[in-house]
Amino acid sequence: MDRVVAKSGLHAVSSSFHQFEPHGVSAIYLLSESHLSVHTWPEYGYVALDIFTCGDDGPALKAFDLLVEEFQPKSVEKRVIRRDVLGEAGSQNTP
């Protein structure tokens, strides 16, 4: 995970990991860009990733590709959700 974060161009502020019994792990990285989390359920062959960043999409997409390469899943479902909090001119959008 450290290697993926560094290689992607994201910047870790801190990280925390929890090993579940009998198996599975959750990891979260607090990033200067926001956060990255990984949750595994080996008994189901399932991994959930959340890469939430602000700014350029490039490092987040690279981190995703590196994690897929690392985990080598049989199938992948990828959703990109853009949260445009600030409008083009930098003014806050209101509902």
Catalytic residues: 34, 39, 54
Question: Which residues on neighbouring strands pair with residue 19, listed in sequence order?
Answer: 25
Tokens 């700014």 -> residue: 55
Degrees to nearest 5, angle at CA 47 with 46 and 51: 155
Cα 83 to chain centroid distance, Å, stands at 15
